[in-house]
Every structure is written in C-alpha cells, then in structure tokens.
Amino acid sequence: MTTVLEPFLLSLIAGMATGIGGIIALLLRRVGDRVVSFSMGFASGVMLMVAFNSLFLEAEKLLTHVELIAIFSLGAVIMIVLDLAIPHIELTRRKGNGKNERMLRTGVLIAVGITLHNLPEGFVVAAGYTYMPSLGVIIAIAIMLHNIPEGVATAIPFREAGTKPSKIALITFLSGLAEPIAALVGAVVLSAVGTRIVVGYSLVFAAGVMTYITADELIPVAHEYGFKHTVSVGLLLGIIFALLIDVLLS
C-alpha cells in the first residue's frame, strides 16, 4: 500500500504545480520575458539530467542496449503521436486577435492538451519510485518545475478572455490532477507485476517521454522570448541543480 500511496502523493504535489503556475499568472499582470526564458531553460536542464543521468542509467542496469534504444524511442514516439492527435497549444509570445471568444477557445485547448500530456508524466513518477524511492523524488521535482510554466500557459488565455480568477485557478489545478491519477494506476500495475524487465522498460520509456517534452516544448518556447544566453545559463544551472539533488538524495 505504501509503494502505491507515496508515488501518488509525489505526483499530486508535482501536478499541483500547474495550479501554482496559474496563480502566478493571475497575480502578476506580466511576467518578464527574461524570467520566463531563464525558468524554462532551468526546467529543461533538470528534465534532461533526470532523463539521462537517472532514468536511462538505471534502466541500463536492467536491459540490453537494443531494448534501451527501442523503448526509449517508443516513449518519444508516443509523445509525438499525442502532440499530433490532441489539441495542444504551447505558451508562446504570439498573440491572438484579442477577441474573447478566440482566447477562451485557446485556453480550453491548452487545458485539454496539458491534462492529457500530464498522464505520461504521472506514470514517470510511479516508474521511478517503484525502482528507487529517491529516484521518484528527483523525477517529481523535475516535473514540478516543468509544470509551473504549463500552468502559466493555461491561465493567460483565460485571463485575457475575462474568465473569473477563481474559475481559472480551478481549471489549472484540475488539469494537474491527471498526473496523480496516472501515477496511482502506474504504481498499482508496477507493484503487481514487479519484474525487473517491466521496471526497466518503464524507466527508459519515461526517459524518452521526458526528453521529447524538453526538446519539443521547453527549449523551443524558451528561445522564442529572445534571450538565448539566459536560456543557456538557466539550462546549465538546472543541470547543476539536478546533480546536487541527486547527490543529496543518494
């Protein structure tokens, strides 16, 4: 029961960061472009370091090289398919035409897309925690940092459309709840099966998912704000932060 409850709680905390991002968007009339560039670069560094230094390396102890490449690729491909199959509009500097109806529709599409994208992230936490509790904590921290700008992305169009702040906060928090639900399902399945191969597959699959999210969403969007060196500094500091967390929790 403990091995199911703890990944659920970790993922719940990470998922709530989406709501925190929504509240930040409501409290601040405008978040500085340089701050956004740095924060997304920082989250990118953490995500990449966790994907390769933690998930991939641990899976390497359990699987063959062929299995590593195949399942890593599968994780990335599934995220590509999700991006193509579901409406998912990312946080960019591009503005719509300012009409409330258009902005409201944009907000709904972003909320739906982020909710569905949160499902694999919840499974990532469960897979990491099932293999090693400290790994689950590191992954949850990385995803939490990634979810804050997603919450901002969800809230801004609703705010521009004139939606009530209380409703915006509710929407952003609810979109993050997909994560703990997926973590709960993943933890139950993994604890029931529990074989080294299944856990290894889960870890390297999660690495593929996190790498794609970073490469497709975080880094490109961070560069749209025009502060190339700020993104790079944030990314490097994110890598250092992830290494320090890894040492502290080891």
Question: Which tokens belong to 76?
Answer: 């990335």
User: Smallest Cα–Cα separation from 160: which of 106, 225, 94?
Assistant: 106
Dihedral sign, Cα of residue 35, residue 92, residue 30, residue 218: negative
Q: In whole angstroms, what is the distance from residue 118 CA to residue 124 CA?
A: 10
Contact 74, 201 (CB under 8 A): no
Could you tell me how many residues make up the chain? 250
Average pLDDT along the chain, 250 residues, taken 10 residues at a time: 79 90 81 77 85 87 92 90 65 48 63 71 84 85 82 75 85 88 86 76 86 83 82 92 79
**pTM reported for the whole predicted model:** 0.70
Q: In whole angstroms, what is the distance from residue 185 CA to residue 42 CA?
A: 30
SS (H, E, C) the chain: CHHHHHHHHHHHHHHHHHHHHHHHHHHCCCCCHHHHHHHHHHHHHHHHHHHHHHHHHHHHCCCCHHHHHHHHHHHHHHHHHHHHHCCCCCCCCCCCCCCHHHHHHHHHHHHHHHHHHHHHHHHHHHHHHHHCHHHHHHHHHHHHHHHHHHHHHHHHHHHHCCCCHHHHHHHHHHHHCHHHHHHHHHHHHHHHHCCHHHHHHHHHHHHHHHHHHHHHHHHHHHHCCCCHHHHHHHHHHHHHHHHHHHHHHC
Identify the pLDDT of residue 200.
Answer: 85
Contact 183, 125 (CB under 8 A): yes
Residue 132 CB neighbour total at 10 angstroms: 16
Contact 200, 67 (CB under 8 A): yes
Identify the pLDDT of residue 94.
Answer: 46
Q: In whole angstroms, what is the distance from residue 111 CA to residue 88 CA?
A: 8
